[in-house]
Chain A
Amino acid sequence: MSIDYSQELSVIEGKPTFADISDVISKPLETKVNKKYYIALAISSTLLLWGAFCLGMTFIYGTGLWGNNNPIGWAFDIVNFVFWVGIGHAGTLISAILFLFRQKWRTGIARFSEGMTIFAVMTAGLFPLIHVGRPWLDGYLFPYPNQHSLWVNFTSPLLWDVFAVSTYFTVSFIFWYIGLIPDFASLRDRTVKKFRKIIYSIASLGWRHSNRHWHHYEMVYLVLAGFATPLVLSVHTIVSFDFAVSILPGWHTTIFPPYFVAGAVFSGFAMVQNVLIFVRKIFNYEHIITLDTLEKMNKIIILTGSMVGYAYGMEFFIAWYSGNPIEVFTFVNRAFGDYAWAYWTMVSCNVLFPQLFWFKKIRRSIPVMFAIGVLVNVGMWFERFVIIVTSLSKDFLPSSWAYYKPTLVDGGILLGSFGLFFTCLILFTKALPIISIAEVKAVLKGSQPSHHKGGHEDGK
């Protein structure tokens, strides 16, 4: 088989015109929703309400309703926080890092995964706030002059987290909105309904597709991508500092920052891949979110999955190599102790199953990749559970060792977090263009001037 490598293949399949792209992307916004949409929304909002109920119970009766005990003071709340922040990282990787690397296949999926970033960070942000027990006093997390003349502790990783996650959310949101402005303008010029026109006019800020604007717009997009790239690495690094800066065996390791970032991208890509499989089918975006795109995502899953697997091995090696008996005990206890079931769930889901992606057939088979994606997310959730709960359950003082069992309320809040995430996502698919109209047009075949007619020949 001969392939012509001198020409870049288009990331969009078929030969849609600009008008086709505008039509197909704005179609979900202009058509009435069907029954299936309501069923999906009903399921996710039921989960959301159930989570809200459990949360309300927690606020009234206190965190005693959770399974947390002494010494396991961090459990589902922090596990869920780290899990959801991690899910968010894929979106920024796709929208910022792949942008800097000029990966054109990102255009079809960038908007949607940025949306997932925002919803995942919203969901994640909830958990530290409820973890404090009295969420109505969360304002004290921010440094402001108050009547107690107290400041926050700037040397604490938990405070770094407040800054990292809130900055991450804000910058992701701005990045997302900047990308949406030209699309709002396109929608404004399409719509015939008065009310929508007002909304889109306000949201588009009066964008005119002017090249004098595009000129700076591309610059700002580059600046934001340049900021978001170190930012996304810093966020999970700082999340890992919550553990690594402490002195607890099993947490106190220098491998945590890269290990956490790889794990976050790993689980995030699995989640994005899972959701996109449905989205491209339901909205007929198979030519924009192509099978090639999904295959490339699976390649990133196997890369990051192998990095995570390497980290698991390295943790054990360092525990042995350090010669620290407490460290050795912690890791042996992880693999063969009370929580061995969680540990081996994690290892098989995160290290073994993703290795199947070495086979091209599996990388391109939608049911199999969906199943592996689900397993990866199960595994990554258990990874955070294993790190947090096993390390705490057997610390330095054997007299205080305990076993952690989640309660129904814990489970309800976990389900509620999925409800919140998917409710936001389902509403998003009907409220905003889930693929960037302007960006996809820019990568269509024939969308850029051919070199022979462009500035090159005349100018130079």
Chain B
Amino acid sequence: MENNKIYSVTGLFDTPDEIIHAVEKTVEAGYQKYDVNTPYPVHGMDGAMKLKPSTLGYFTLVLGLSGAAIAILMMWYTMTLDYPQVIGGKPTFALPAFIPVTFEVSVLLGSLGTVAIMIFFFFKLPNNSHPIHNTEYMKAVSVDKFDISIEAKDKNFDENKVKEFLKAVGARTVATVYWDNDEVSYKPRVFEPKFITFLVVLGLITSGATYIALNKLAYASPFNFMMNQDRQNVQSKSVFFGDGFGMRPPVEGTVARGHMPVAIGKAEDSLWVNYENPLPVTKESLELGKKKYDIYCSPCHGMYAKGDSRLRGQFPNPPSLHSEKVRNWKDSQIFLVITSGQNSMPSYAAQIEVKERWAIVNYVRAIQRALNAKEGALK
């Protein structure tokens, strides 16, 4: 040990009061390269050592603000530029909705960055090869002692003088710390073939495991259960449902919005008998009525409702709609016949919407009037 290079001379003290006093004396004596080791932060020590306030806070500020900026930029890029979508009626750059993530990212970057800067740049840790490790006085400091270590680098350093000085300010034990030769002459072994082989093998294992996980394992059971799922094609037979239908009928009594139900049954029984035609006679309603009449009614009733079917006897001809009886019907009665059907005429409720039925009624009224025009009707 005696041949080794000196790192520092240390003195151990028993109480916080003693160490504060000793540190003040050390500063007065003009030593600059020294350190104080205490098992916990001692109040007033920073003042005694005349340390400037820690500058870490500025790093935190910069890191936190850059975290916020990065988060906002990232969200702006993804949500506004790269894949704009309107979500919940919000603008693509929805600042209020971005605030939580902005806050979290600035906290994350601010705290992690500050800690990393402190450990790696301020403390230059991890460093387990410092000469004071594993010495008796380091162990004492870890429990209950306080110590000053005046380093050989200091320009006023002289081993004997420093020892005397420390004894004079009240140190209980004074000792010299030496550099460890093994650690001083240690050379990193990063480029040794052994280590490089280790890195290559590690790389191969990692990439192989990733390949297997992503390209093989992800397609194996049970991770693939979403890829093969039972499904039912429309209009095809089902083995799952009891009635054998693949498509499910709506629940009994289901009513679509805007499609007010009409009672099916005898026209006279219906509440609709006294219902007024809600559709005014306009050009639009007559045109709609003609269109729907020509599509759905004219094949049997004929283009002018004379009962002259185009079906050539394949289906019984209906009576003419120009009879006295039909002409005296209320609008609602014609509407109900279209809705529920009558004799061999089926219900057209499924094909023709309510509004269209009323339009047909208007149109039928127009034909009835046109074909049974009286003298002077045009006046």
Contact = CB atoms under 8 A, between A and B. Distances in A.
Say if A and B assemble together: yes
Interface stretch (A75-83, A198-206, A341-349, A427-435): A198-206
Interface string B155-191: 0000000000000000000000000000000000000
Main secondary structure of the interface of A (DSSP, over half): helix
Contacts of A441: 39-40, 144
B79 A170 contact: no
A60 interface: yes
Interface in B6-65: 15-17, 20-21, 24, 35-49, 51, 54, 56-57, 60
A405 interface: no
A186 B39 CA distance: 8
B130 interface: yes
Interface string A205-231: 111111111111111100110011011
A18 interface: yes
Contact of B111 (A218, A224, A442, A446): A224
Contacts of A439: 40
Interface in A176-207: 178, 182, 185-186, 188-190, 201-202, 205-207
A234 B103 contact: yes
Contact of A22 (B74, B115, B144): B144
A211 B101 contact: no
A314 B40 CA distance: 47
Interface stretch (B120-128, B268-276, B297-305, B348-356): B120-128
Contact of B114 (A201, A223, A454, A459): A223
A203 B355 CA distance: 80
Interface in A7-29: 17-19, 22
B125 A205 contact: yes
A220 B36 contact: no
Contacts of A101: none
Given A211-B37, A214-B41, A149 B88 contact: no
A164 B106 CA distance: 11
A220 B112 CA distance: 10
A212 B149 CA distance: 12
Contacts of B94: 155
Contacts of A442: 40-41
Interface string A130-165: 000010100000010000011111111101100110
Given A209-B142, A211-B42, A216 B54 contact: yes
Contacts of B97: 154-155
Interface of A: 17-19, 22, 59-60, 62, 134, 136, 143, 149-157, 159-160, 163-164, 167, 170-171, 174-175, 178, 182, 185-186, 188-190, 201-202, 205-220, 223-224, 227-228, 230-231, 234, 238, 241, 437-439, 441-442, 446-450, 453-456, 458-459
6 contacts: A160-B100, A167-B105, A188-B142, A208-B130, A220-B114, A234-B107
9 smallest beta-carbon distances between A and B, as pairs? A18-B144, A189-B142, A219-B54, A155-B97, A151-B78, A442-B40, A205-B126, A211-B36, A160-B100
